[in-house]
Amino acid sequence: MANIKVKIDHVSKIFGSKPKSVIPQVKSGKSKAEILEETGHTVGVYDASMEIEEGEIFVIMGLSGSGKSTLIRCFNLLNKPTDGSIYVDGENIIEYNSSQLKKFRQNKIAMVFQHFGLFDHRTVLENIEYGLEIKNVSKEKRQQIARENLEVVGLKGYEDKYPDELSGGMQQRVGLARALANDPDILLMDEPFSALDPLIRREMQLELLDIQERLKKTIIFITHDVNEAFKLGDRVAVMKDGKVVQIGTPETILESPANDYISDFIKDIDRSKILQAENVMIKPNALVSLKDGLKVAIKEMEENGISSVFVVDRSRSLQGIVTIDDAIEGIKEKKSLEDVLSTDVTTVTKEEYVNDIIPKALESKYPLAVTSGNGRLEGFILRVHVLSGLVAEDVNESTEYHG
């Protein structure tokens, strides 16, 4: 069972003079607009529940006014919930006293803001070490930690620069390094890339994924961009009018939207930028080992109705591919499997996005081989399916190579 790092249990946040008095009206079905008009109270979040696993990127997505930014500020009690509980490592943080809350914010959780929040009068290094300075960490130690985190975000050499000397993307990297410097378990990111231009935004998304691969933080990420949500999120929560409408993996939400609102929300999404190779690959039901001969290869192809077959060694590490024509010709010329084996196979990893492997599919005359880090063959992708943009279940219905 996955380790639950954060649990949000029926959390509501109402803004106004008597917030608790409004909850029964929300419960009865009155809309956010009706409650505002009748009571002057604003429903920020209502009855939100979710469990966030340790080490995952959990994205909360919604349009302006959906309650996503209100909710993320409940995680560190910048917004104290009107009702409900928030558990972090099994402790209800809403019950914390001021001393416990200060310790929690300093050591366990950190936030990266949309507009960077850097101090203009401090250098890059001084900005990064600010949180450590507040914690009375020695200057030597905090500078060491700041330099290490500056390198993590790819800004080594910019220690003495000031924020106004950096691009927007570089400033956001400094903000991220500052948050990481305290070594928090949980990283809150409130639309951190929305102020960046599209190219820098994509770079920062990839940078975040790279950093997460190394550090394995629990990241709660807010965005209004569905493409960004599905690219970054291990799981995604979609909000509307203060309520959580659906929670699931990007693939689950794409294939099984909970209602018409979700369907409309995702209708314009570019699936090639969301689906990864592992989502569209076929697990091989026919393989030939190097120890096998050409007759075995031909038999495998005939029995499975395919025109080529991948060749692996004893540990299923990819060695190449052999076609039916080459195998038949090889038998005629008394050649071995290794003699006719083609090593001109294009490989991709399971994590590569379909959009990124389209050029490889265009250039390759064979199916793309999906391999793990040690070269083990995990599956293959047919060119026709990559180019036609079919989703995973359509691909999995096919058993014939078209590469």
* 325-383 pLDDT, tens digit each: 999 999 999 999 989 999 989 999 888 888 888 888 888 888 899 998 788 898 898 87
Q: In this structure, how many other beta carbons lie within 10 angstroms of the beta carbon of residue 61?
A: 25
- Count helices and strands (H / E) in the chain: 19, 16
Same domain, 70 and 193: yes
Same domain, 258 and 304: no
Tokens 């014939």 correspond to what residue? 400
More confident position, 402 or 198:
198
The span from the CA of 280 to the CA of 376, in Å, is: 18
3-state SS, residue 375: coil
Same domain, 291 and 261: no
The span from the CA of 351 to the CA of 280, in Å, is: 11
Mean pLDDT of 279-289: 84
Residues paired with residue 323 on neighbouring β-strands, in sequence order: 308
Same domain, 212 and 265: yes
CATH number for position 357 = 3.10.580.10
CATH number for position 192 = 3.40.50.300
Same domain, 225 and 342: no
User: Which one-letter DSSP state was computed for residue 241?
Assistant: T
The span from the CA of 281 to the CA of 301, in Å, is: 19
Percent of the chain with pLDDT over 90: 44
Q: Give the range of the structural domain holding residue 195, as residue numbers without chain letter.
A: 4-108+184-269
Same domain, 307 and 338: yes
Mean pLDDT of 220-245: 92
Residue 138 lies in a domain: no
pLDDT of residue 395: 39
Q: Which of 269, 302, 317 is the last residue of a domain?
A: 269
Residue 116 lies in a domain: no
Residue 145 lies in a domain: no
Name the phi and psi angles at 184, rounded to 5.
-75, 155
Q: Measuring CA to CA, which residue among 52, 131, 135 is closest to residue 89?
A: 52
Average pLDDT, the chain: 87
The span from the CA of 129 to the CA of 138, in Å, is: 10
pLDDT of residue 385: 66
Same domain, 323 and 380: yes
Residue 115 lies in a domain: no
Same domain, 335 and 289: yes
Res. 177: pLDDT tops 60: yes
Same domain, 236 and 340: no
Q: State the total domains in the chain.
A: 2
Residue 336 lies in a domain: yes
The span from the CA of 144 to the CA of 21, in Å, is: 51
